[in-house]
Structure 1
Amino acid sequence: MSTDPETTEEARPGTPEATDPTDATDATDATDPADGTESADGAESADGAESAGEDSAAAGEGGTEAAAQQSEAAAELAAQRVERERIERRKAEKRGPVESGAKLSGTAADLLAAVRAVESGERPVTAAFDEPAPAPRRPATPEPARRPQPAPAPEPSAPAPAAVDAVRGVLAEGGAPEGLAPQVAAALGEGAGARLRSDPWLLLRVTGVRPEQADGFARALLGAECGPDDERRGRAVTGWLLEQAALAGHTALEMSALLAALAQRGVPDPDAAVQSTLAEGEALVFQDALEEPGAPARPRPAQNDKEGAQGTEGAEGAADEEEEERPVRVLVGLERYALAEESLADGLARLVNSVPKEDGPTEDWERAAGTAGGSAGELIGAVARHGLVLHTGGHASLVDPARLLHEAPALGLRAWAAAYTAGGRDDCAALLAGFDRPDGREDGTGCGTATVAGLLAGAEGPGRDADGALDLDLLIVLDAPQLDVETAALLVESLPDGARLVLSGDPAVLWSAGPGRVFADLLVTRACPQIASRVPDPGPLGELVSGIGIGELNQVEAPGKEVVIVPVRDAGEAVHRTVQLVADSVPRAIGIPAEQTVVITPGHGGAAGTRALNAALKERLNPGPGRFGGFDPGDRIAYSPAPGRTLPGQVVTADADGLHLSCAGGPVVVAREQVERSVRHGWALTAHQAAGARWPAVVAVLPGDAAQALNRPWVYTAFGRAGRHLSVVHGVEQALPRAVAEIPAKPRTTRLPALLRAQLPAAG
């Protein structure tokens, strides 16, 4: 059997349709609001996400530049002392419990205070880059959790017709598509028309709009007043680059990378553009101490010592001079992700430092661990003693958290498992149903399964208690690598005091579609126990995927045609052979019908992307005129209710209310105006869309032009979606084994490890 199959979902320069506003899912379509997926592990984003954030190796340069600027520290000392007193007063005002989402807290609040000091003239803008984090963080002792409000409505209210009409007039005047009016009105809020007229570059806040398009719009409105050095343009492009970086998975950008990306986008004075953005409160600046190679992890003493040195007499400053020289990196990020990482770090530290709720006696825990045995027993033992536990392993290792869930009621725990996809939820439920129940306990008592989205929305799970916390004692999150930083923060904030959290998943798969790499960051910081499952994925497919996970593309024996390689010469042949496999070969030779087979390809655009493959598959499997916005009853679809979330389903019908779908066994109605942005045909998916789910058969399509997009996590994720059979339509020759052996996941810039080390001195 040949093992040369694969490709990745990155956006490469020149990829067809790379600027389609409905395609942010892949590397090929890095700005799609509906999918937001593949761009997360982002290919070389033509939008500037690549230049803005993919290259984290250049990160340290930003810290070096910032350190050089600290030669002005003496001149700034008095001003910084005043600012520190101001920050301390603000912190004292905010001591009590803070309702989630109501106010900023911790470091994020201090940073915002510094920005407002710039606005009021109390300090010069340049000082924003010279000062480390404003104050030592409070110790992470057990404290009441900040409770989120139960499930806000996912869709914002539509803008008023008058506001849309006003925006439409401004768009027409500037030669922009009037169809953007509802999105502009929703993005800019009250007075959107007037705001857009006074600052045409605000058009960049609409997903899919690029700087060159906003420049043309601004020239049409402003005429001779429009220029590349306009302060409004610098702020807008800075914010746009930070948004593009978030699509690529970063929660912040190195200052050096951001300045370089601004220069690439024609901003004459990148530093002034960043400072203006900070002064307007549209972004925040951070300094994180870098760990010295080979040195033990420390809770950012350099930052705290520097803060003390800058606010005390010269003798103390001299005592801490050595610490001041410790390297730092300067980061710039959007407020929403800064708040999410701060909140997540606080919540995780609370779990690590808290004593779990008293429940069953010790002998009951020991009995449960001994009965389960193996890695499942180790997991139960770790959960008995700790509030936060990580569990790693492939798909077969799901049996370990399922066993923990099964034992939880007998230990006095109200326990729930939440999976990223409905398929993961159902797999866990099936395993749970297969265990023998202890005597005297009815099936399902005290435990259950849900999806993460359903749990947070209140549509699934135990509901919330009077304080707004989830009504449970143990939460097991499956497919944890798919958690972005905002979802993870909301989950952790939702846990009641004394609850336990288990994050379980396969660390080799693609990271989350949204910003952050929560599971990987936690594994790196080693802030809590980590249990590695000893349950291997079975059969030839398990052997193949396990090898890929360690960088080896092995040839495996597949007597039952579990793995088949189909070589092709070009993209046209790849599409033809894919349709043949799905519609004929796999059903006939393997016995798996077309409706149980999924096609996985690197991106949406291109001659063998999801669009081309879905068109060909629809013509063969469910031909029709597409009378419902391009869809017909019986079409397989991929519905994205929010960026990064994909629900496979099928079209049922359509009427005045919208497109009626069946997703995960339940009815869904998509409003007519949302169909184009949130519904795609779903015979062919990207690997990010498929992450967290499995199908009996998978056809992985690797056309020749995908060679540069390949990396190990993409190959691992795409191949690992197959339960019984994998066909690889292979046109990338030696690029596949090279990608598996040599190309790891693209780095992401996040602050979570530094935040955790600051709160947990033992981390690392």
Structure 2
Amino acid sequence: MVDPSSPSPPSVPGDAVERTRHVLARMRAPERLAEPLVGALGPGAAEELSEDPWRLLALGSVTPTQADFCARALLAGAALPTDPRRVRALVAHLLQRAARDGHTAIDRDRMEGALSRLGVRSAESALEAVSEDGRVLLSEVVPDTDDDEFGDEAPEMPDAELFFALASLGAAEQRLGEGLARLVGGEPVMDSATAAETVQAAALALDRELVPETASALVTVALRGVSVLVHGPGSAGTIAEAVRYAAAIAEESQVGLVVAAPTASGAAALNRRLDGVVRVRTVAELLAGSEAPAAGLVVVVDAMALDTETAAALVDRCGTDTHLALVADPAQLPSAGPGQVVADLITSGVAAVAVLPGDPAPGPQVLLAAEVGDGELADDVRAPGREVVLVPAASEGEAAYRALQLVTDSIPRTFDLTSDQVQVITSGRGGEAGSTALSAACKARLNPGPGAVLGLDPGDRVLLAGRGPGYGPGDTGVLRAVGEKGPSVELADGRTVTVADPSHLRPGWAVPLAAALGGAWPAAVLVFTPDAALSRPAVYTALTRGERHVSIVNAAGPALAESVRDVPAVHRYTRLVQVLREG
């Protein structure tokens, strides 16, 4: 999902911007909002604002209090708290804010509570105001009941629960649930005995000892239309082996295989392990084609990074007989975009779940991640090979200094890597040790320049924060050139894409943790600051981004260990479980 705070493309109609400036002046609103409003509302932004000043809330940076002030300036005494235009805008605003926090749907009680705090006292007026609003989708769900509790009497139907969702997001979640239900009913690719024999033969051909859990997981993939293969830290080798066996099943059954990763860096990491046996593509690359994948078996690794809309688009492309296998570590953070697809699939019970084995000889990094998964973060780590290094920092300034030193000197020198192979991952964007400041510091040291393209120059590492042909949010790469069709970026998997919308480009020397989901790099520098939203899944996810090494720069002090102990999960409100169970 594209960050709502992203700048709008610069190519907006000049007259539309000028008309919008005039309306904003009448509303006593900053005229600098004109261009982003035209980007958000279209060339008719001025007319929309004149008719409905609360449309200002289409910008995520505008608060309800600010919108009310501007509405009073424009409408005077006609700007009432119960104005249906205001109520519609507030509902959409609350849903947009919820989506940024990862939720896909908000139930009636929570919506009523939020609206009440904003001066909307009547739930019925809210329902009436949004009933014909194309931005909002209303859905009713009848809760499950246990018929036994009613004895011999006919049970009464429980009241339906009402959910609010952004129209596009709610429709995507409905479509995803229905699509997964369609795939669940698919026929087996082969029977269990044949699948087991095929996997065993592949293991012999590879001269590998077949672990029973891996064999069982691959039989599950062959039998069931939708499966989730769960794993823990340090399972990269096991995942690559499972993909090889999936390729053997696909070849033996002649159904074809597609393997996809959420990001280019994740695809590149798995491709290095597969040695050309199977080419792993990114999900964005898979979705860029107009045709459904010509495969009866689709395997998605790092599937925790799949948000609702991306997963819905992927499932839409799968044929009726496609088997979809999601390989995921449930201890990680949910996706950067709204939803928690893997967690909801597991909770629903409609998908088959199998467990891949862990590393039989875990190293210090894997052991530390496992301890974090259990709720503990040690003060020090035994790592003779310096696979993990803990770096305390007394301030954000010191954390930034230490991170820059690690990227430009310590890690490349110790592990025979280049700075390009080290990714800085921060717990937030702002502050001295946030991704923005650290990216600027790394650029100044590693690729100084005037910043000719949105503050960037050829040779800069970049992060993509939007969707386009062959790329998606979270992809990283290097800016190579700027042509007539847009900036050219060489992605981490070696492909070069043209970024049609320059606003998708961000500095990528340092990236926020949400953008690192699904990514993998030879080494990672993790920077934790006091003001970050820390949790056990956040720390665990960060620890599992570096393949050979992680440095943990801790400016959060004791709060880091406390978050691992006391914040075990990141909760999201979704409807996918209900949609799946409705079938």
TM-score scaled by length of structure 1 = 0.68
Q: Which amino acid aligns with 2:178?
A: D
Q: 1:576 aligns with which of 401, 415, 418?
A: 401
1:682 aligns with 2:508: yes
Matches within 5 A, 1:86-165: 163-165=16-18
1:758 aligns with 2:582: yes
Cα contact 1:702–1:729 (8 A) shared by 2: yes
Match in the other structure for 1:441: none
Q: Does 628-637 or 233-242 show the bigger shift?
A: 628-637
1:323 aligns with 2:156: yes
Matches within 5 A, 1:23-62: 32-33=5-6
Match in the other structure for 1:626: 451
Match in the other structure for 1:544: 368
Cα contact 2:140–2:163 (8 A) shared by 1: yes
Match in the other structure for 1:230: 83
Match in the other structure for 2:329: 506
CA distance in structure 1 between the partners assigned to 2:390 and 2:5 by the alignment: 31
Secondary structure of 1:413's partner? coil
Q: Which amino acid aligns with 1:650?
A: V
Cα contact 2:265–2:521 (8 A) shared by 1: no
Matches within 5 A, 1:522-541: 522-536=345-359, 538-541=362-365
Q: 1:745 aligns with which of 569, 573, 576?
A: 569
Q: 1:606 aligns with which of 426, 431, 445?
A: 431
Residue-by-residue CA offset, 1:46-75 (whole Å, 9 max, x unaligned): xxxxxxxxxxxxxxxxxxxxxxxxxxxxxx
Match in the other structure for 1:376: 214
CA distance in structure 2 between the partners assigned to 1:412 and 1:355 by the alignment: 14
Secondary structure of 2:56's partner? helix
1:337 aligns with 2:169: yes
1:449 aligns with 2:449: no
1:734 aligns with 2:558: yes
Q: 1:741 to 1:327 in 2, by over 3 A?
A: farther
Match in the other structure for 1:590: 415
Cα contact 1:368–1:377 (8 A) shared by 2: no
Cα contact 2:175–2:312 (8 A) shared by 1: yes
Match in the other structure for 2:206: none
Q: 1:432 to 1:589 in 2, by over 3 A?
A: closer
Secondary structure of 1:323's partner? coil
Cα contact 1:368–1:380 (8 A) shared by 2: no
Q: 1:400 to 1:751 in 2, by over 3 A?
A: farther
Q: Does 211-220 or 412-421 show the bigger shift?
A: 211-220
Match in the other structure for 2:525: 699
Residue-by-residue CA offset, 1:300-340 (whole Å, 9 max, x unaligned): x99xx9xxxxxxxxxxxx954x433x576432222222222
Cα contact 1:543–1:556 (8 A) shared by 2: no
Structure 1: gaps of 5 or more residues: 1-22, 26-30, 35-154, 306-317, 435-443, 760-764
Cα contact 1:640–1:679 (8 A) shared by 2: yes
Residue-by-residue CA offset, 1:558-599 (whole Å, 9 max, x unaligned): 001111111111111111111122122222333332211111
Cα contact 1:234–1:270 (8 A) shared by 2: no
1:351 aligns with 2:183: yes
Residue-by-residue CA offset, 1:336-376 (whole Å, 9 max, x unaligned): 2222222222221222223235xx67764232133343233
How far has the Cα of 1:448 moved from its partner? 4.3
CA distance in structure 1 between the partners assigned to 2:273 and 2:413 by the alignment: 30
Q: 1:527 to 1:450 in 2, by over 3 A?
A: same
Q: 1:276 to 1:666 in 2, by over 3 A?
A: same
Secondary structure of 1:704's partner? coil
CA distance in structure 2 between the partners assigned to 1:544 and 1:433 by the alignment: 29
Q: 1:181 to 1:237 in 2, by over 3 A?
A: same
Match in the other structure for 1:762: none
CA distance in structure 2 between the partners assigned to 1:498 and 1:743 by the alignment: 41
Q: Which amino acid aligns with 1:405?
A: A
How far has the Cα of 1:508 moved from its partner? 1.2
How far has the Cα of 1:652 moved from its partner? 2.7
Secondary structure of 2:162's partner? strand
Residue-by-residue CA offset, 1:156-212 (whole Å, 9 max, x unaligned): 997665545443432343344445445434543474432221111112223433323
Cα RMSD between the aligned structures? 3.1
Residue-by-residue CA offset, 1:657-713 (whole Å, 9 max, x unaligned): 554433333334446xx54x422211111111111111122111123344xx21011
Q: 2:197 aligns with which of 359, 367, 385?
A: 367
CA distance in structure 2 between the partners assigned to 1:724 and 1:207 by the alignment: 39
Q: Which amino acid aligns with 2:175?
A: S
Residue-by-residue CA offset, 1:30-51 (whole Å, 9 max, x unaligned): x5347xxxxxxxxxxxxxxxxx
CA distance in structure 2 between the partners assigned to 1:24 and 1:471 by the alignment: 29
Percent identity, aligned pairs only, is 38
CA distance in structure 1 between the partners assigned to 2:9 and 2:216 by the alignment: 45
Match in the other structure for 1:666: 495
CA distance in structure 2 between the partners assigned to 1:353 and 1:670 by the alignment: 39
Residue-by-residue CA offset, 1:610-632 (whole Å, 9 max, x unaligned): 12222222222223332333223
Cα contact 2:106–2:163 (8 A) shared by 1: yes
How far has the Cα of 1:527 moved from its partner? 1.5
How far has the Cα of 1:471 moved from its partner? 2.1
Match in the other structure for 1:149: none
Structure with bigger gyration radius? 1
Q: How many residues align?
A: 564
Q: 2:480 aligns with which of 646, 652, 663?
A: 652
Q: Which amino acid aligns with 2:549?
A: H
Residue-by-residue CA offset, 1:383-427 (whole Å, 9 max, x unaligned): 232211110114423224312332021221211111101122233
Cα contact 1:164–1:181 (8 A) shared by 2: yes
Cα contact 2:336–2:517 (8 A) shared by 1: no
Structure 2: gaps of 5 or more residues: 204-209
CA distance in structure 2 between the partners assigned to 1:738 and 1:370 by the alignment: 45
CA distance in structure 1 between the partners assigned to 2:182 and 2:188 by the alignment: 11
How far has the Cα of 1:280 moved from its partner? 3.6
CA distance in structure 2 between the partners assigned to 1:429 and 1:572 by the alignment: 37
Cα contact 1:633–1:651 (8 A) shared by 2: yes
Matches within 5 A, 1:431-446: 431-433=273-275
